[in-house]
A and B are shown apart, each in its own frame.
Chain A
Amino acid sequence: MAPTSMGSMSQPAIEVENLSKRYGEVVAVDDVSLAVAPGEVLGVLGANGAGKTTMIELIAGLRVPDRGRVRVLGRDPRRDRAAVRQLLGVQLQEAELHSALTVGELLGLYRSFYPDPRPAEELLDLVELRGQARTRFEKLSGGQQQRLSIALALAGRPRVVILDELTTGLDPRARRHIWAGVEGLRDETVLLVSHAMDEVQRLCDRVVLLDAGRIVALDTPAGLVAKAGVANLEEAFVRLTGKEIVTEENA
Chain B
Amino acid sequence: MNEVTVRRPGAGSWLTLIGCEAKMVARDTAGLVVPIVLPLLILIMNAAAAGDQEVAGGRSALEVYVLPLVFTIVLATIGIVNMPSFLAYYRRSGLLRRLAVTPASPTMVLVAQMVVSLAQAVVGIGLAYAIAVVGFGARPPADVGMALAVAGLSVAAMYGLGMIVASVAPTPNSSVAIGLIAFFALGAVGGLFGGPDSLPEPVARVASWLPFGATVEGLSNAWSGASVDASNLAGLAISAVVGATVAAFLFRWD
Contacts and interface: CB of A to CB of B under 8 A. Distances in A.
Interface in B9-54: 9, 12-13, 16-17, 20, 23-24, 27-28
B95 A62 contact: no
- Interface size on A, as a range, is 20 to 34
B103 A96 contact: no
Given A82-B8, A90-B101, A95 B94 contact: yes
B198 interface: no
Contacts of B7: 86, 115
A85 interface: yes
Interface string A45-85: 00000000000000011100000000001100000001101
B88 to A, nearest CB: 13
B1 A96 contact: no
Give chain B's interface secondary structure class.
loop
Interface string A107-142: 011101111000000000000000000000000000
Nearest to B16: A112
Interface residues of B, number: 28
Interface in A96-114: 96-101, 105, 108-110, 112-114
B245 interface: no
Contacts, number: 81
B195 to A, nearest CB: 40
Nearest to B27: A100
Given A74-B2, A87-B4, A97-B95, A113 B23 contact: no
A11 interface: yes
B119 interface: no
A37 to B, nearest CB: 12
A112 B13 contact: yes
A213 interface: no
B188 interface: no
Given A82-B6, A100-B27, A88 B101 contact: yes
A61 B8 CA distance: 17
Given A95-B94, A98-B20, A109-B16, A73 B100 contact: no
A42 B20 CA distance: 35
B100 A62 contact: yes
Given A105-B23, A115-B7, A62 B101 contact: yes
A92 interface: yes
Which of B6, B27, B98 is the most central at the interface, judged by chain A CB atoms within 10 Å of its CB?
A: B98
B17 A112 contact: yes
Contacts of A38: 1
A85 B102 contact: yes
Contact of B94 (A86, A94, A105): A94
Nearest to B102: A113
Contacts of A43: none
Given A82-B8, A100-B28, A105-B23, A113 B13 contact: yes
Contact of B103 (A60, A109, A113): A113
Which of A85, A105, A113, A159 is the most central at the interface, judged by chain B CB atoms within 10 Å of its CB?
A: A113
Contacts of B20: 98, 101, 105, 109
B205 interface: no
Contacts of A156: 102-103
A112 B95 contact: no
B102 to A, nearest CB: 5
B103 A95 contact: no
Nearest to A83: B6
Contact of A96 (B23, B93, B100, B101): B93
Contacts of A159: 1
B186 interface: no
Interface in B75-122: 93-95, 97-98, 100-104
A62 B97 contact: yes
Nearest to A100: B27
Contacts of A87: 4
List the 5 closest A-B pairs by CB distance, nearest first. A96-B93, A95-B94, A95-B98, A100-B27, A112-B13
Given A95-B93, A96-B94, A97-B98, 19 more contacts: A10-B1, A11-B2, A62-B97, A73-B1, A73-B2, A74-B2, A86-B6, A86-B7, A86-B103, A95-B95, A96-B93, A96-B98, A100-B28, A101-B20, A105-B23, A109-B16, A113-B103, A115-B5, A159-B1
